[in-house]
Structure 1
Amino acid sequence: MDVEVAAKALKELGHPTRLAIFKRLVRSGHRGLAVGALQQELGIPNSTLSHHLSSLVSANLLSQNREGRTLYCQPDYGHLQAVIDFLQDECCSDQR
């Protein structure tokens, strides 16, 4: 993973509201959660939530899909794992 890509993901997760959103979505599993349910659970105003979701999507941490009139957000577990792997890829390499 490129350092710029990892930095973008970590920057977006560094905001307390976005981190809370992402953690809630991770808890929801692969299907994700409807934006309305997310807004209601977290008590975030709709326009604010939209802004934070857009930031997470731009960092490739979330994807969104529409089913009828409902917009769902799903965490991108592959990208999350790539960020974690990036942080761990040189673990203890100086000890060899």
Structure 2
Amino acid sequence: MNIDEAFGLVLREMREYSKLNQDAFGAAAARTYIGRLERGEHSPTLERIVKIAEVLEIDPLVLILWAFDRSRGKEPGTSGEKGSQTLRRIMAAMLELKEKD
């Protein structure tokens, strides 16, 4: 499954879990756009993901990471944990370099 299809499935699942219809995204995105996303026919911009997440009342990273994990056949949350560890290592290394300058 590609990332667009995975994002679409996650979006649909979260929308249905939240008991929202496609029209509920009003200002964030038109119903037809949400439908295309849910079918995996379109890739949303980061800005659009943020707006969609606001309607769903979740962190935008949840949508991104869950879709990424699903597209790779991984357990949801796996990439988030690994990504957080990687980010901490990078930030520590950058801070160390900055302190040396």
Q: TM-score, normalised by structure 2?
A: 0.27
- Which is helix-richer, 1 or 2? 2
Asked which structure has the greater CA Rg, the reply is 2
- Which is strand-richer, 1 or 2? 1
